[in-house]
Amino acid sequence: MYQLYIANKNYSSWSMRPWLVLKAFNLPFEEIMLPFPAERNTGTFKQDVLAINLNGKVPVLVDHDLMLWDSLAICEYLAERHPDQHLWPQNVKQRARARCIAAEMHSGFTALRNACGMNIRAHLADVGKRLWQDDAALRDDVARIEQIWSERPEVNGFLCGEFSIADAFYAPVVTRLMTYALPVSESTQQYMHTMLQQPAVKAWLDAALQEDAWVNYLESYQQKPL
């Protein structure tokens, strides 16, 4: 059985991606939560992660004596280990496209990441409105994402046919667009709806909403409720 080390579901977008792949494709794994500390440079989070992974970050996948510490590498490894599950699309052209758009998400969209941190339980429409007005790079990132999503084969479907690694990589974007209520097209809203109905995505969101941990340095837009 795999072991997947993750951080808080409410905040950790990179943890979400391989977790969704494992869950959606019914691959056996043990989830090990290493929660972020409430304040930077406190608690044992860094030491706990360093004991497993010398780059000090999650997610981490452990398979017996093999340790992987990059979300895309983890998903590629799982796809190789379970070829019958078709974690990437079966169609060669869609598979190539899925890899391209997953890699683009893996390395890009820094304006969206920096301005709109993942915070599933938050409702930050006012913040999103201000960011949208002031941040051209954010608008460009969202426009590119909308372009990618608009090219899915079916308007009511996933990015490259059936749910795949590519969709898992864009799942945190769905949560960001919701949290900050960024203005998006009807087609984008339809893809978001499709993703929100996906059982693994629903399971992650439900668990995130049940978390009560408050991480101050990841809550830059709001104060902790009394």
Mean pLDDT of 58-85: 98
User: Which one is predicted more confidently, 50 or 223?
Assistant: 50
What angle do helix axes 165-179 and 92-107 make, rounded to 10 degrees?
40
pLDDT of residue 226: 62
pLDDT of residue 222: 85
pLDDT of residue 141: 98
* Phi-psi region at 7: left, alpha or beta (left = phi > 0; alpha = psi -120 to 50): beta
Question: pLDDT digits over 142-168, tens only?
Answer: 999 999 999 999 999 999 999 999 999
Model confidence at 18: pLDDT above 90 = yes
Model confidence at 210: pLDDT above 80 = yes
Burial grade of 82 (CB within 10 A; 0-12, 13-18, 19 or more): middle
Domains of the chain: 2-85+211-218 (3.40.30.10), 92-209 (1.20.1050)
Model confidence at 225: pLDDT above 80 = no
Lowest mean pLDDT among 39-53, 82-96, 129-143: 39-53
Q: Which amino acid is at 26?
A: N
Question: pLDDT digits over 95-139, tens only?
Answer: 999 999 999 999 999 999 999 999 999 999 999 999 999 999 999
